[in-house]
Amino acid sequence: MLFPAVDHRLLNRSLTWLLAHQSATDGSFQESYLFGGRRDGHVPVEFQKVSLTAHIVLSLEEFVGRRASIMELTSSLISSLLLHLSLQMYQSVDCSRAVRQACAYLSSQLPSLHHLSTTSSSHSSSESALRLSLVVRALQVGSRLKLAPANAAETAFEILARQQLEKGEFVFWGDGGCDPLSLRATALALLVYLDRGERISTDRVASWVSEKSFAAAAAAPNEGLCAIVDAWEALLDWDRRKGGEEAATAPTTVRILCGDSVERGTGS
């Protein structure tokens, strides 16, 4: 159900402002207010050109999807006041072109992202892992909306899959420590795997995300907050999907952020 609780004029002005800052040259978005004049290497990874563009694609997904749904509905019905107000909210600004251009830019960055992910070490490996996970997730969304270049999402996923690391019972991305960057990278990767219906490693990834959530938040409270949000989303999605499957896997225990344990499996 649609809830037009926000003034559609304010929403449209915000979207118009955002899309006005997209590069006409390559379709990317770049932070020029908080970090004006600085090179990417001196800007937090979340605000760097590639990462920011991926973030915006993810943010625009709902607007593109809802606008398409509303336009389909209005082809047969526009008598409902709720539908009419929803149409006002989403019709004025079409984000499809912006998402298509942004996805084309992200796709063009895959070779360099692959190179960075294989040559980075220590803290920079977590930065590279987060950047890669954001891009893969954004291209996955773009592909679902039919706005990403052909095969871009699959190519990105193959790069992501090759970068996973294993340690004991866990699978993760980044340096494997308690840093929020590695946690965010792994949580986003888990969402990618879940959306694809990949069953291989998802329990092991979810276990790592759960294990590291509180430690990452304690190590860096400000950065950790974003990581906790991503971890929460990924673990809830994992739990929801596992709950919908037949109990046919070995027991897996995951602590869902609040500290409680959830055990799934046959038990016999």
Interval 145-162: pLDDT, tens: 999 999 999 999 999 999
Of residues 207 and 31, more confidence is placed in 207
Report which DSSP code applies to 24: T
Q: Give the chain's domain count.
A: 1
In a domain, 212, yes or no: yes
pLDDT over 90 percentage in the chain: 46
How far is C-alpha 27 from the chain's CA centre? 19
Q: To 10 degrees, what angle do helices 96-108 and 110-119 make?
A: 50
In a domain, 155, yes or no: no
Nearest in space to 234 (alpha carbons), one of 192, 175, 172, 174: 192
pLDDT over 70 percentage in the chain: 70
pLDDT at 37 over 60: yes
Model confidence over 99-140: pLDDT tens digits?
999 999 999 999 999 887 777 554 478 899 999 999 999 999
Whether the CB-CB separation of 22 and 102 falls below 8 Å is answered with yes
Mean pLDDT value of segment 194-202: 86
In a domain, 264, yes or no: yes
Distance CA 44, CA 48 (A): 7
In a domain, 253, yes or no: yes
In a domain, 211, yes or no: yes
Which of 203-207, 242-246, 251-255 is least confident?
A: 251-255
Residues 6+ apart with CB under 8 A from 122: 175
pLDDT value for 209: 94
pLDDT at 264 over 70: no
Whether the CB-CB separation of 130 and 174 falls below 8 Å is answered with yes
pLDDT value for 6: 62
Which of 11-15, 24-28, 131-135, 230-234 is least confident?
A: 11-15
pTM of the model: 0.80
196 by DSSP, 3-state: which? Answer: helix
In a domain, 28, yes or no: no
In a domain, 194, yes or no: yes
Model confidence over 44-102: pLDDT tens digits?
888 899 999 999 999 999 888 665 544 444 444 444 545 555 555 544 578 999 999 99
Q: State the residue range of the domain holding 185.
A: 172-268
pLDDT confidence bin for 206, thresholds 50/70/90 = very high
In a domain, 89, yes or no: no
